[in-house]
């Protein structure tokens, strides 16, 4: 496949707007591309686009998500830059997976009877359900796994923080603003500040951002009908390794007063091992492209949080793109970086499939 055809694949799937739960058209498009590239394709019970190469019992599974956050961006190419929702997070990494695996499987050296490479375009990663990854977790038992997320073509991601969401709601009869009773908005702000202070105290002395607890105020909304007032607040917490969530929730219970607080969408932090054949393959492949690889950890979450503990195999996240552009109105991908990532992944996969069976 030529470089322009590789870019056409990416352009096609980016052009189909696919926020979480609305991925069907993009899934069908990706499945069509995989079929044309020689994959055995299916749309599984979760709605994922799935392609298989080879028939062996030894599995290498690559999972990238095909859904995006809401917000359409006009898809356009300006020289070697492609703009559009999902170019970085994470259709660029997913397209690189599809191309690299197809190239690695070409030719008589691919051990099709002993190895199977599976590429999954997973649904609902951005919705916090991780529906596609949770389904895949029980379907495969890979020797190696890759998660498609932007790392930059010369960097490899080893870990992600965990996540916990809190929904706060408080309603009470109206009171005069000059009276002694605090309004519901003041109570909500007091709860938020208690959480921030607790996080700041816990974070003292932590060496890296990966080790800190990071609260975020996602939204706050108040309303009144003249008789009762109500406030709703939605908070996010990025959880570091070693945090006792039960202790945190016990503190939350002391701060909430009469408010209702619901905790949900929890994902535990995950950090992969740094030294194994998978990471060695990436070091060698990136070096072959003229760079020295680096390993990073991320403050967000990904399907690695779901699949890493379940599969228990060597796993990393990798993909082209600048993750600071995730979810932004300026999301775009350097196409030279995209093509470099395809070459890196092809080298990685060729090395992994050539491993002697132990």
How far apart, in whole angstroms, are the C-alpha atoms of residue 131 and residue 295?
28
* Beta bridge mates, 78: 81
Query: Distance between CA 168 and CA 177 in Å, rounded?
Result: 22
pLDDT of 108 over the 90 cut: no
pLDDT in tens, 201-240: 999 999 899 999 999 999 999 999 999 999 999 999 999 9
DSSP string, 207-231: -SGGGS-EEEEEEEEEEE-SSEEEE
pTM of the model: 0.94
The two tokens of residue 73 are 């961006």
H helical segments located in the chain: 3-15, 24-36, 91-104, 131-137, 184-203, 245-255, 277-288, 304-311, 335-353
Helix H or strand E encompassing 131:
helix 131-137
CA distance 326 to 213: 21
Q: What is the pLDDT of residues 183-195, one digit of tens each?
A: 999 999 999 999 9
Kindly list the strands in the beta sheet with 228-239, ordered across the sheet, starting from the edge strand earlier in the chain: 214-224, 228-239, 162-173, 260-267
84: tokens are 């559009």
Residue 67: active-site member:
yes
Over residues 321-349, mean pLDDT: 97
Q: Is the pLDDT of residue 274 over 90?
A: yes
Domain with CATH 3.30.70.360 in the chain: 162-267
- Selecting among 23, 125, 334, 337, the annotated active-site residue is 125
Task: Tell me which of 67, 126, 187, 232 is the catalytic residue.
Answer: 67
CATH number of 162-267: 3.30.70.360
Domain spanning 3-160+269-353 has what CATH number?
Answer: 3.40.630.10
């Amino acid at each position: 496949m030529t470089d322009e055809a590789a870019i056409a694949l990416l352009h096609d799937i980016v052009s189909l707007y696919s926020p979480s739960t609305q991925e069907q058209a993009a899934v069908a498009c990706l499945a069509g591309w995989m079929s044309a590239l020689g994959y055995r394709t299916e749309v599984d019970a979760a709605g994922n686009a799935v392609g298989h190469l080879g028939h062996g019992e030894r599995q290498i599974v690559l999972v990238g998500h095909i859904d995006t956050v809401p917000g359409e961006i006009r898809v356009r190419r300006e020289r070697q830059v492609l703009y559009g929702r999902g170019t970085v997070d994470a259709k660029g990494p997913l397209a690189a997976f599809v191309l690299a695996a197809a190239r690695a499987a070409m030719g008589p050296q691919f051990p099709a009877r002993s190895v199977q490479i599976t590429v999954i375009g997973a649904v609902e990663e951005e919705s916090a359900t991780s529906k596609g990854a949770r389904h895949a977790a029980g379907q495969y038992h890979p020797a190696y796994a890759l998660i498609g997320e932007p790392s930059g073509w010369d960097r490899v991601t080893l870990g992600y923080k965990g996540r916990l969401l809190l929904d706060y709601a408080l309603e009470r009869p109206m009171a005069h603003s000059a009276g002694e009773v605090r309004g519901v908005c003041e109570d909500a702000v007091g709860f938020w500040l208690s959480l921030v202070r607790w996080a700041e105290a816990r974070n003292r002395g932590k060496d890296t951002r990966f080790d800190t607890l990071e609260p975020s105020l996602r939204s706050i909304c108040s309303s009144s009908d003249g008789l009762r007032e109500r406030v709703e607040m939605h908070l996010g917490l990025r959880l570091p390794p070693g945090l006792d969530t039960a202790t945190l929730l016990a503190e939350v219970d002391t701060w909430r007063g009469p408010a209702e607080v619901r905790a949900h969408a929890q994902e535990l932090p995950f950090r992969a091992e740094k030294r194994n054949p998978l990471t060695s393959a990436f070091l060698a492949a990136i070096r072959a492209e003229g760079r020295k690889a680096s390993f990073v950890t991320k403050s967000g979450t990904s399907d690695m949080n779901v699949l890493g503990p379940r599969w228990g195999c060597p796993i990393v996240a990798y993909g082209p793109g600048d993750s600071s552009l995730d979810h932004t109105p300026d999301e775009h991908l350097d196409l030279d970086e995209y093509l470099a990532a395809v070459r890196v992944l092809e080298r990685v996969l060729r090395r992994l499939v050539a491993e002697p069976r132990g």
